[in-house]
Amino acid sequence: MSPILARIRGVEPTLTATHRRIAEAILAEPAAVAASTIGELAERCGTSLTTITRFCRELGLAGYPELRLALAADLGRNDATPREQSLIAFSPDDPVSLVLRSLLASDMRAMEETAAQLDLEAVDQAVSVLVNARFIDFFAVSGSAGVAMDLHLRLHTIGRPCALWTDVHSAVCSANARDNRDVALGISHSGTTAEVVEPLTIAKERGATTIAVTNFPRSPLAEAADIVLTTAAQDTPFRAGGVAARHTQMLVLDCLYIGVVQRTHETSNQLLTAATGAVAKHRLPPR
């Protein structure tokens, strides 16, 4: 089972006001909730026992006892691998050593939670369609575009026909040229970036297989995708807007790239060897 806290964070933006109040209570004090009865949680959130049960079922759980067990498992994993606590907010007086430890702890936690909840069957399916695609479109903007560029360049190096579009006008034009032989992959931490959602939706309407990489499995981007690959990063002050998501996005895209290389090993190995030789002459000799 995927980490329950990551799952709750992922669906929180799409919850009703009442269910969001429950989610916030759990995320704020997971240990306290794990030790509470359903009645105690209902009282804390100002809601009913039935609403708590419905919230659990919305998470895919049978009921409140399963939620408590999942929280205990999450907390147990955290206790088994103690690390520096991530800072909620950095102050002007924080030494760089504390900032560094906090960043490391935060990013490692996000990577581990992403790996734990990632749908490996969906990864395998995504690799298959990327290998067989006539053409691959990448749609991303801002920070996600930098991550997408890395995968685009690496797939291009091993002979996969692909292009990265960071301008929505160009993106929608390319999306309109897709059909059922093609693949379109959109990357957005929030899953609400219109410049990414729009071309991915168009590509799907034209018959292309669509893939979404997002932190929120109920986002508009996820709804426009045939295959959804989710990350598990938390925004924090000074790292909002998906900055904290870059490493988790790269982890997911790395899995896709390695999967493609594995299934096209002979051709990919030849092209990688040739590429290494081609750029070698552009490296300056050591002094």
pLDDT above 80 for 231: yes
**What type of residue sits at position 236?**
T
Average pLDDT over residues 70-92: 64
Q: pLDDT averaged over the chain? A: 90
* Whole-number percent of the chain with pLDDT over 70: 92
pLDDT above 70 for 82: no
Total number of residues shown for the chain: 287
Q: Which of 126, 153, 151 is nearest to 263 (CA)?
A: 126
Q: Which of 16-20, 109-113, 188-192, 268-272 has the lowest mean pLDDT?
A: 109-113
- DSSP-derived letter for residue 228 is E
Q: Which residues of 34-66 are buried (b: 16+ CB within 10 A; e: fewer)?
A: bebebeebbeebebeeebbbbbbebbebeebeb
For Cα atoms 113, 82, 88, give the angle at the middle one, nearest 5 degrees.
70
pLDDT at residue 242, rounded to an integer? 61
pLDDT at residue 153, rounded to an integer? 96
A 10 A CB-CB count for 120 gives 10
Distance CA 172, CA 170 (A): 6
pLDDT at residue 73, rounded to an integer? 86
Contact predicate 210/190, CB 8 Å: no
pLDDT above 50 for 81: no
